[in-house]
Structure 1
Amino acid sequence: MCHIMHIFLNIKFFTLVDFCNAISYEHVKLLSILKLHNVKFFQFFTRFYQYHQGGGFVCVTTARVCSLLQYLFIVLFSTFLVECVDYPVLFNNKNTTADGIPITGKRHIQLMTLIFVLGIDDDNLGNLTWCEVLALLCQKLPDLHVIITKDKLNELDICQRILRFKNYFVALVNKDMLPPVVNIPFLGPQPYLSSGLKLNLDFLFFWGSFSPWEGPYTLKDEYKDPQNIGKLSNSFVCINTQCHKFFIYTINSCIPSVIHFFLLCGAYKKRSNTKLRHFNELDHQLQIRLSRSYDFATRYMNLFTSPLIEIIAKSLKFVTGSIFAVLFALAAWDEDVLTVNLEHALTLMTATFLIVIVCSSMITSDDCVYMPERLMRSIIACIHYAPISWEGKAHTRAVRKEFDSLYPLTFRYILEELFSPLITPFILFFWVRPRMQKFVEFFIRFTVSIEGLGDVCSFAQMDIAKHGDEKCIFILAIDGVAFDKDEDYIANDGKTEISLLNFAAMNPLWEPPPLAAEFINDLKTHVSCLSVFLILFEHILKNVW
């Protein structure tokens, strides 16, 4: 409970059918009867969320087209550099000429004007928050009759449809089944989850032809029988890991990793950190929460510099900076310095400039104030994650090393992505394959079937009686609750309670179940009393001193 209170106080693009499902009441009611079953319903909410976050139909279409053009550019430009460039001519080693023939083509794109049931056009979409749009959607859904098993859908139902697979992945990480731990020489065990590896795990567990899922909303029947654990794990490994995954990875991960290095090496801050993600937390909510911690996290990481390395970096920066300054001044005075008087002057200037940049990153800034505990409290208030081992030890390198796995340096992230095509096949075969029976057992044990919703992760229900820590409930004096005594069913790090609090805060119109509502109200009372006590204590100290 102290752990929870500590954190709390520190606190595809729409297809035509999907659009037609929202154009007018007359067409919606007809299409909902004829075409909109559970699969379409699941896809609708996911793409509806993408539509809102993408900024509307035009923005989503433009983003998808630009993304496609970027990949096309990478392929064409790489081919051009390898096959179409005469490097001896480029480096002025021989004289020749070349003629080019322009290639022309035409593409016609038709745009359609759509009338939406919610009455929100693209221009006004930015004026509404996701909570407002979600509330309006919940209000309109009963009139559309898109689902017959429930009269009304709430915010939790919609979020669980959007985040069905992501909740499973969050639960796998929370139960320490992921990410894989790799023993690296001189560094010891290191958690490893690159973009390529996550892509493979998603394909293996959720999207692949031989995944446990029969569709986007239900598990296969054989995965609901505990007696099939051994049989399923063996076939799961043979089909997915040994054959299919190895070749799929080459196409879907090797090339994107190279592209990521050249184009997106600075975008690591935008990736979803699964360990810090709450159950039923949407992408934009996670991004906003983590973005608030970036400044504090960067300042915290910059506090830990080696005095020896800093001394060497300062000396090296002075020497290389002096050489660069002289060459730059001479080149500015007379451009012949770059071509005639000094051979390879441009190369030398580039090398010295890069060395200066690297050395500068190793030197502590003059305005850096050593306040690790205060910075760590600010970080915890944003990321909602604080192991007990961090308390009072933010100044130690052990805590810094553990936090580094959550907030890696850009250089480390680039190395992980570059080596991902080589490491991932070995992880899939030597780490994932022996543990496949545990993964199959996880899907069997922690899947619940809900009418009108399908199969979802039981942790995503945020049932504190089943997955909560009974110490939290007993401290809050909530009686009459039958807890599950199996430790495997209890979420680590108070994830169930924190996820419940976060979801209630993000969706103020949501009506939680009675036990969850009682837990939230009692916690608010405890926090209010504690806040009053802290204010009085601070006032007393001021009067004393």
Structure 2
Amino acid sequence: MCIHKKELTELDIYHRILRFKNYMVAMINKSVLPVHLQLPLLGNVVFLTQGLKYNFELILFWGPGSLFQNKWNLHPKYKRSGNRLELAQQLSRVILLMGVANLLLCPFILVWQVLYAFFSYTEVIRREPGSLGARRWSLYGRLYLRHFNELNHELHGRLGRGYKPTSKYMNSFTSPLLTVIAKNVAFFSGSVLAVLIALTVYDEDVLTVQHILTAITVLGVVITITRSFIPDEHLVWCPEQLLQCVLAHIHYMPDHWRGNAHKSETRDEVAQLFQYKAVFILEELLSPIVTPFILIFLLRNKSLEIIDFFRNFTVEVVGVGDICSFAQMDIRRHGNPAWMSEGQTEASMYQQAENGKTELSLMHFTIKNPRWQPPQESSVFISHLKEKVQHDAQGGPSTQLLLSEAPLCTSLQSNQSGTGPDDLLASVLAHPILTASGLQGRDHRFIRPSTAASAAASVLASLSTSQFAHGGRGRPHGLLPSSLHPEATMYHSDRTAVDSLSNSESHMRSNALHSEFASAEMSLHAIYMHELHQQSSHPQRTSGHWQNPVPMRDLHTNTGFHAHGGHVSNISTSSPAPLGGWAEVEEENQEDQEINLGSTPTHGTGSSC
């Protein structure tokens, strides 16, 4: 490793490790790579396989004729705009040769893919027939959902936490016709299978009859497959809430998904990120055939756009080399005004990262590396975001109330993890439902309806205060159990267990707990920033409530929060009602006065989400 700086920062190390990954994430974000195909009858299809991704990297980064002269420097000729057309033609020839090579090797690669799939999945299908109906994050989804400067284990952990809520959302869509067919097929197959099993128990010689074992095996597979199409009869369809849970972990969501979670089009777009394993296997088998045509007919047409992308979005950093400028997470250069960067960015539409990638990546890297000192523009953005959080927290529920709701909210979302970060995140996500359904209680001093944004702001404000109380940024993370409530019983057992372990085990447990709470903190930021983005896009309507948005740069009011020994309370709100929300009123005439004034509490339906 060649080092030209006295001190390498965390960001410099990430840039060295993720140099090419950041380029791939940026090209997917700016739609430079041709992974979206318009097919007859199928419409818009995303096609990105291991073989196609390997060819992209071979052409652009480290293959013969690639744009990089070594692992850290772009060829100087690609940094000059004078010969961009000539360089585009040269790149087009390289892509053509690579496409022809893939076409010539197609039969051999196809045979290898078939053999590899056969030996890899035959035993799995025999042992678990329903495994093909399971889902996995697609390669496109991993690049689309990846933050700039996010390491592999960080991405895998985040998507792993989002697997269950995403599966629950996808499984909530059912076809009545398909359900009826699946029930009938399962019934008849089960009847025949039951008769064969009964005959086998009565007389073992039945197994010697030809094809009996085959019939039993096939019927078992059919029953397993058909049951996957039969929904849970106790399922409550609440797609918006489920999609909000998905957003908390994946951090990225197109704007048109909001309010359209119940539509099949939204489900199909989620399926592009979260595909069936059977679809993944089929795409890998088709990859040797499709990849040459994508290279020859689609990627070649993008040659000039690729040359311009690497010239415009490559910067040289001393001690690091050439990196993608998006990876610097520079709000001034690549910020999006619709994502709280208004007045702080000079980026044009071409320079802006899509879907808030710059802003969310900056928050993710700051949370994961709390000792990192961001540049001035990024520091200003983070400071303004904290001011906005403190302001919005005044109208949100108290942290005590959210902690008291955690067990109920966890049960509502069928979350079996039972850990502190998951419980707290679940309470923030489900708090608007409890408020709308009347479970919040009849404390009439809560004037404005609570949203996920206000609940997230309350928790984030308490985290900011607890970080300040514990020494600011020197502490790994402020989102600790003791910082939320030093006497909270829901975390007492965790602290006792940590104290009883040895020093090494306690240190490992503490690091794991810090990591979990850091992930929960980033999830809260993702929810909150998406809500603010919706406010800027639709100023009068957010999350089903009509509110007047507060400008982000005009926040210089008192936040109304005080810290006492790590515990945070909101002085503008009263003490929370008991869990369940049925707080008794001491005097009966108080309700009569409210009825006369027309301020009766609104009762939720209880069955709607």
Which category describes the TM-score, using the shorter chain as reference length? 0.5 to 0.7
Q: 1:373 and 1:317 mapped to 2: Cα distance?
A: 31
Match of 2:186 among 293, 307, 317: 317
Give the aligned residue type for 1:373: E
**Structure 1 residue matching 2:316: 3-state secondary structure:** strand
Tell me, yes or no, if structure 1 residue 503 matches structure 2 residue 360.
no
Which one has the bigger helix percentage?
1
1:89-118 Cα distance to aligned partner (Å, 9 max, x none) = xxxxxxxxxxxxxxxxxxxxxxxxxxxxxx
Tell me, yes or no, if structure 1 residue 386 matches structure 2 residue 253.
yes
**Structure 1 residue matching 2:45: 3-state secondary structure:** strand
Q: 1:158 and 1:502 mapped to 2: Cα distance?
A: 16
Identify the range of structure 1 (486-495 vs 179-188) with the bigger mean alpha-carbon deviation.
179-188
Tell me, yes or no, if structure 1 residue 330 matches structure 2 residue 199.
yes
Q: 1:262 and 1:531 mapped to 2: Cα distance?
A: 56
- The CA deviation at 1:483 is 0.8
Q: What is the aligned residue count?
A: 393
- The CA deviation at 1:392 is 1.8
Report matched runs for 1:413-428 at 5 Å: 413-428=280-295
Tell me, yes or no, if structure 1 residue 398 matches structure 2 residue 265.
yes
Q: 1:416 and 1:423 mapped to 2: Cα distance?
A: 9
Bigger RCO of structures 1 and 2 (CA < 8 A, at least 6 apart): 1
Q: Which runs of 5+ in 1 are unaligned?
A: 1-40, 42-145
Q: 1:442 and 1:395 mapped to 2: Cα distance?
A: 37
Which residue number corresponds to residue 385 of structure 2?
A: 523
**Structure 1 residue matching 2:168: 3-state secondary structure:** helix
Gap change, CA 1:474 and 1:343, over 3 Å in 2? closer
- The CA deviation at 1:184 is 2.9
Give the aligned residue type for 1:458: S
Q: Which runs of 5+ in 2 are unaligned?
A: 122-131, 399-434, 447-580, 584-599, 602-609
**TM-score normalized by the length of structure 2:** 0.61
Q: Is the contact between residue 179 and residue 193 of structure 1 (CA under 8 Å) also seen in structure 2? A: no
Q: 2:138 and 2:38 mapped to 1: Cα distance?
A: 27
Q: 2:345 and 2:391 mapped to 1: Cα distance?
A: 28
Q: 1:452 and 1:330 mapped to 2: Cα distance?
A: 76
- The CA deviation at 1:237 is 2.6
Give the aligned residue type for 1:525: E
Gap change, CA 1:402 and 1:268, over 3 Å in 2? closer
Match of 1:163 among 1, 18, 31: 18
Identical pairs, percent: 38
Tell me, yes or no, if structure 1 residue 354 matches structure 2 residue 221.
yes
Which residue number corresponds to residue 228 of structure 1?
A: 83
Runs ≥4 in structure 1, deviation > 6 angstroms? 248-254, 264-267
Gap change, CA 1:199 and 1:474, over 3 Å in 2? closer
Give the aligned residue type for 2:197: F
Which residue number corresponds to residue 44 of structure 1?
A: none
Q: Is the contact between residue 197 and residue 424 of structure 1 (CA under 8 Å) also seen in structure 2? A: yes
**Structure 2 residue matching 1:393: 3-state secondary structure:** coil
1:281-336 Cα distance to aligned partner (Å, 9 max, x none) = 00111111111111111111111111001001100111111112222333344343
- The CA deviation at 1:252 is 6.8
Give the aligned residue type for 2:49: S
Q: Is the contact between residue 261 and residue 418 of structure 1 (CA under 8 Å) also seen in structure 2? A: no
Q: Is the contact between residue 95 and residue 296 of structure 2 (CA under 8 Å) also seen in structure 1? A: no
Match of 2:162 among 293, 305, 316: 293
Q: 1:400 and 1:469 mapped to 2: Cα distance?
A: 27
Q: Is the contact between residue 88 and residue 307 of structure 2 (CA under 8 Å) also seen in structure 1? A: yes
Match of 1:302 among 145, 148, 171: 171
**Structure 2 residue matching 1:442: 3-state secondary structure:** helix
Which residue number corresponds to residue 453 of structure 1?
A: 320
1:72-98 Cα distance to aligned partner (Å, 9 max, x none) = xxxxxxxxxxxxxxxxxxxxxxxxxxx
Which residue number corresponds to residue 255 of structure 1?
A: 112
- The CA deviation at 1:354 is 1.5
- The CA deviation at 1:386 is 2.0
Q: Is the contact between residue 180 and residue 431 of structure 1 (CA under 8 Å) also seen in structure 2? A: no
Give the aligned residue type for 1:195: Q
Which residue number corresponds to residue 483 of structure 1?
A: 346
Match of 2:46 among 178, 191, 201: 191
Which residue number corresponds to residue 464 of structure 1?
A: 331
Which residue number corresponds to residue 427 of structure 2?
A: none
Q: CA RMSD in A?
A: 2.5
**TM-score normalized by the length of structure 1:** 0.67
Match of 2:66 among 211, 214, 217: 211
